[in-house]
Structure 1
């Protein structure tokens, strides 16, 4: 989700950014937040569709906040606007300009969280992620970023594009539960879980992964027919979703 904050004082904008950031860390880690001092600055720099949501203060140095809501509706109607004011006197105007919500100061954290949750329900499905702890740090990883995982006793090695390799205390069963049955993940052997979106090829009883090392992961003989079937189905469905007609460089040879 991409969010813009416009108007208000630097202190209130910073405080609002922190509240949104707290919500995003638990719900949409890839949320981006931009701050604009006034309406003209925002109008000069933004392009239609750039933001999913804008929080607009009635207090601005260069124009009335309600004027910015109106201009945004004309230029980028897909962007939802939340108007923030000191009382309800501007509510009819804001709603007439198709404001997504109207909030009265002082703002509570729960109010902001509710607005963000309501908007999330209207957006296309966000990319899923799971949480884990590594080196005493709370971390998250997008499903699409995980290449494969290999269990080692009570630990698991996660291999991903962004984080490389990290070793965490977790069982394979716990990891699969956190992945919530996502169709792209397949247990190819005892203790080895792969993301089918990162398989380059299969041959000789191995999966060739698309990490830097081109890792070879052994496939269980018993599971290979089902993996082959599911991987073919996954490729077919991926091709249907792709907008381009470029071929996928994947081969299968059992």
Structure 2
């Protein structure tokens, strides 16, 4: 699997460390460098040729917007994700063709949505392993190991340190964290809709508006209605709709 070369640019060390920690949760992201100023960022980008740059806006001497302007002049300019504590620059940021705008303090759901958008821009087949027809998800239950066909899984939930895997025929429990299960199923059509749920997009049948920008989701073969966090709604719809 090819990893996405990424650079973090922020004059605050704490902010760089926080974002680096969040990005390291994703196996397909490779943080190849950090810069504390716009000038250093330009030099680092010319050396490393990253695919993505997470770029702070308010920095001394050279702002992130100025850095973005220079990066666009490169032969193969990187994708830009602005990461800032100030929402007021959003309009100007997107004029620099940024693919996203992350607000500090960072939220895991927001970062995940950004990562999914990055992958979509960078042609997901290049970064995700191709699924094989005989691959199974191993689940141990009462000293027996069950092998589940990922395509038959409806959704997976996380409650009280236990992951519950639901199929049309019943459910299974796993000690694996939801994040690890999501990574193992990354080459199948699974999508995170909430910090506690990932779903098989092939089984989605209905999306129902709820309140405050959130939705409820129905799956064919399940009576449960699952909550979709508002941070995931836009990406979910782009995955589902023609």
TM-score (norm 2): 0.48
Report 1 or 2 for greater relative contact order, CA contacts < 8 Å, sequence distance ≥ 6. 2
